[in-house]
Chains A and B, each alone.
Chain A
Amino acid sequence: MNAPAYNFAYLDEQTKRMIRRAILKAIAIPGYQVPFASREMPMPYGWGTGGVQVTAAILGPADVLKVIDQGSDDTTNAVSIRKFFGRTAGVRTTTHTTEATVIQTRHRVPETPLKAGQILVYQVPIPEPLRFLEPRETETRRMHALEEYGLVHVKLYEDIARHGHIATTYAYPVKVAGRYVMDPSPIPKFDNPKLSNSDALQLFGAGREKRIYAIPPHTAVVSLDFEDHPFEQWRHPASCALCGDDASFLDEVITDDRGGRMFVCSDTDHCESRRAAPSQPTVQDAEVARG
């Protein structure tokens, strides 16, 4: 039996070249899902294999990597992926958004605005924004080819007819550079505006579904809506119990079985930075609110 010897950043060079070619096509056709020969990775499909393959294909020894899941650096899957690259590529890792050159994320865009030179890599479960309206790839591919996006608008409009407002709260579809309707991955729609005209390059990897897509920097990304029902951001109408931020996206934390709960920043680095900064009002031992 041969002891496996793995390459820098795990993937072999042939695989990296294939992924790199797909990334370049993805950047050249913003929002279009480029099929690629996704490999079996040593973590399960659905757990970030697409993001991991994209990161492995771009990562170099000079990079500083940050990995977040649900906005947090310390969720188990983020830890696991960060360790994987620490071990296979020996790159420096960080939890600080501002220090990172490559940020791999699941379900959030960091609160701190990204800069030129940074790359945000999204893990994507279902890359096809039309999938839940039309399960067949043969059909949805055709719709993208013909720019036939009526179906999405019908879905959003049905929401309005039934509920009086759009009922999509995450993975809210966007149109990229005026052409392709794209799934921004299951980020809360609160994060959608951050996709537009970012200084950073945004790459999206869907391993199981074998698709890569991209938003170049300085590219218009518009959340789909209607003139009389414009796109709206949503966050819990509260402030972070730890740092006091009343503009960040919040997680609700249930603290007991009597209705006690509190709200804290979903982006842990953002929250910690605010608490570390001397000028910010700090709440060290927040009282738990009881209902």
Chain B
Amino acid sequence: MYVAVKGGERAIENAHRLLAHERRGDRAVPEISLAQIEGQLGLAVDRVMTEGSLYDRDLAALAIKQARGDLIEAIFLLRAFRATLPRFGATQPVDTAAMRVRRRISATFKDLPGGQVLGPTFDYTHRLLEMPAADPPEPATTESDVADSVGTPMPRVTDLLAADDLIERSPGAGEIDDAAPPGDLTREALSFPADRDLRLQNLARGDEGFLLALAYSTQRGFGRTHPFAGEIRLGEVAVEVFAEDAGFVLPVGRITVTECQSINQFHGSASEPPRFTRGYGLVFGHCERKAMSMALVDRALRARELDEEVGAPAQDEEFVLSHSDNVQATGFVEHLKLPHYVDFQAELGLVRQMRREHAARTTAGGESPADATLSDATVADATVADHTREAAE
């Protein structure tokens, strides 16, 4: 008996109810609070803000809770909310040299003005699971490291190298009109070749895992760029906007960012003396892996500009920028769950036709085991057609 495919609306409502139920989990366990997520799953919050392209810790925590900890789903929630916000304009460039630094390391100089500041890092932890004690001691609160660094000038490593002309100026500086507003790929469709501002925006919003794999591939020889971690710094920077009506720059707040500047080899060209080149990564919050990956991929994408041989995936601008966005990627991969009856029916008809033709060809040339199955299917087809015709009459 054919049951019409009805009840889509009720099915959706039920699915939503089940989801809410699963999201809550065991009712005997207290519900997780947004403050807990924000405070204790801070790196998840940072990633969601970075790839969600919206600096709001409260909303990111809410998104993580609503998404049951699925960070790409949380990023999607934040992006969809962001899309409805009015855009007032662009801020002044943030000055990371004036950062209130909490962590700053350089792999290129043993010591340097401002020193190395290890800060909060997993780097030298032993990855041993620590079973929670029945009555765990609270870790000591510490602000001293931060306080120490405040007021200490901490010039960027790249600026120190630039003073000796050992590294290129910021790529595009001079070519790009600083007064022109930066591009925004949430407001215009990306076209190729893309300017570096749009490229960096795309990478900053891009999926951490995708960029990590691409960056890794350059280290393994697919577009090798000989990178050094020139500097990684984490801390708070001031955000300022130029108030048109008042005519001066106005501070609007401070945000946490992680910046990575990679230093890469460059052998020089006919017109350029040999000097180091840069790759750049900047993300919201503390997303060090992402910032480093971004810097490596940014540098790889400059291959054409620097007259390097182009061939590796990480150097292919259209490939990288078209596939970096996890909200787009997850949507399109997962859309395969939607019904495709119509396309499939059309393909089904074609496959049957081609099998009939194939059978006709092979039968002409002699029996083969495949024919038995095939002719069964063909008979079945004919029967079905006959029955339906009868039923319709």
Interface residues of A (CB under 8 A from B): 1, 4, 6-7, 10-12, 14-15, 18, 35-42, 44-47, 49, 69-72, 74-80, 83, 106-108, 125, 136-138, 163-165, 167, 169-171, 186-190, 208, 210-211, 234-242, 244, 246, 249-253, 255, 259, 261-264, 266, 268, 281, 283, 285-291
For B392, give its contact among A237, A239, A268 (CB under 8 Å): A239
Number of A-B contacts (CB under 8 A): 209
How many whole Å from B180's CB to the nearest CB in chain A?
Answer: 18
How many whole Å from B98's CB to the nearest CB in chain A?
Answer: 30
Known: A7-B84, A44-B334, A268-B4. 15 other contacts (CB 8 A): A1-B62, A39-B83, A40-B76, A45-B328, A71-B342, A75-B8, A83-B9, A125-B335, A165-B353, A169-B346, A189-B346, A234-B349, A239-B392, A241-B391, A291-B381
For B187, give its contact among A37, A108, A165, A189 (CB under 8 Å): A37
Q: What bracket does the count of chain B residues touching chain A fall in?
A: 35 or more
B392 and A45 contact, CB distance less than 8 A? no
How many whole Å from A160's CB to the nearest CB in chain B?
Answer: 13
Question: Do A75 and B5 contact each other (CB < 8 Å), given the known contacts A39-B186, A80-B12, A137-B318?
Answer: yes
Q: How far is the CA of A283 from the CA of B391 in the complex (A)?
A: 7
**Which A residues are CB-close (under 8 A) to B338?**
46-47, 69, 77, 106
B387 and A289 contact, CB distance less than 8 A? yes
Can you sample 15 A-B contacts with CB below 8 Å? A12-B86, A14-B86, A44-B327, A44-B334, A76-B11, A83-B9, A137-B322, A163-B357, A188-B346, A239-B388, A251-B345, A262-B2, A281-B392, A281-B393, A289-B386
How many whole Å from B135's CB to the nearest CB in chain A?
Answer: 34
Interface residues of B (CB under 8 A from A): 1-2, 4-9, 11-12, 58-59, 62, 76, 79-84, 86-87, 185-193, 318, 322, 327-328, 330-335, 338-343, 345-350, 353-354, 357, 379-381, 383-389, 391-393
**Which B residues are CB-close (under 8 A) to A49?**
331
Beta-carbon nearest neighbor of B317 in chain A: A138
B342 and A291 contact, CB distance less than 8 A? no
Beta-carbon nearest neighbor of A266 in chain B: B342
**Which B residues are CB-close (under 8 A) to A281?**
392-393
A241 and B342 contact, CB distance less than 8 A? no
Q: How far is the CA of A7 from the CA of B357 in the complex (A)?
A: 56
B388 and A37 contact, CB distance less than 8 A? no
Q: How far is the CA of A9 from the CA of B58 in the complex (A)?
A: 27
How many whole Å from B5's CB to the nearest CB in chain A?
Answer: 6
For B349, give its contact among A14, A41, A236, A240 (CB under 8 Å): A236
Beta-carbon nearest neighbor of A167 in chain B: B350
Beta-carbon nearest neighbor of A212 in chain B: B189
**Which B residues are CB-close (under 8 A) to A170?**
342-343, 346-347
Question: Do A186 and B2 contact each other (CB < 8 Å), given the known contacts A40-B76, A236-B349?
Answer: no
B379 and A291 contact, CB distance less than 8 A? yes
Q: How far is the CA of A70 from the CA of B344 in the complex (A)?
A: 11
B191 and A35 contact, CB distance less than 8 A? yes
Q: How far is the CA of A1 from the CA of B59 in the complex (A)?
A: 7
**Which B residues are CB-close (under 8 A) to A289?**
383-384, 386-388, 391
**Which A residues are CB-close (under 8 A) to B190?**
210
The winner among A36, A45, A240, A285 for most chain B CB atoms within 10 A is A45
**Which A residues are CB-close (under 8 A) to B7?**
74
How many whole Å from A125's CB to the nearest CB in chain B?
Answer: 7
A187 and B342 contact, CB distance less than 8 A? yes
The winner among B80, B188, B330, B386 for most chain A CB atoms within 10 A is B80
B342 and A107 contact, CB distance less than 8 A? yes
For A125, give its contact among B6, B59, B332, B346 (CB under 8 Å): B332
Q: How far is the CA of A229 from the CA of B271 in the complex (A)?
A: 58
B8 and A74 contact, CB distance less than 8 A? yes
How many whole Å from B232's CB to the nearest CB in chain A?
Answer: 30
The winner among B2, B81, B86, B333 for most chain A CB atoms within 10 A is B2
Question: Do A76 and B332 contact each other (CB < 8 Å), given the known contacts A39-B186, A239-B392, A252-B348?
Answer: no
A291 and B82 contact, CB distance less than 8 A? no
Question: Do A246 and B392 contact each other (CB < 8 Å), given the known contacts A47-B331, A75-B5?
Answer: yes
A45 and B332 contact, CB distance less than 8 A? yes
Beta-carbon nearest neighbor of B10 in chain A: A79
Beta-carbon nearest neighbor of A261 in chain B: B384
**Which B residues are CB-close (under 8 A) to A288?**
1-2
Q: How far is the CA of A189 from the CA of B347 in the complex (A)?
A: 11
Question: Do A40 and B192 contact each other (CB < 8 Å), given the known contacts A236-B349, A241-B388?
Answer: no
Beta-carbon nearest neighbor of A107 in chain B: B342
Q: How far is the CA of A265 from the CA of B272 in the complex (A)?
A: 69
**Which A residues are CB-close (under 8 A) to B384?**
238, 261-263, 289, 291
Beta-carbon nearest neighbor of A36 in chain B: B189
**Which A residues are CB-close (under 8 A) to B393?**
244, 281
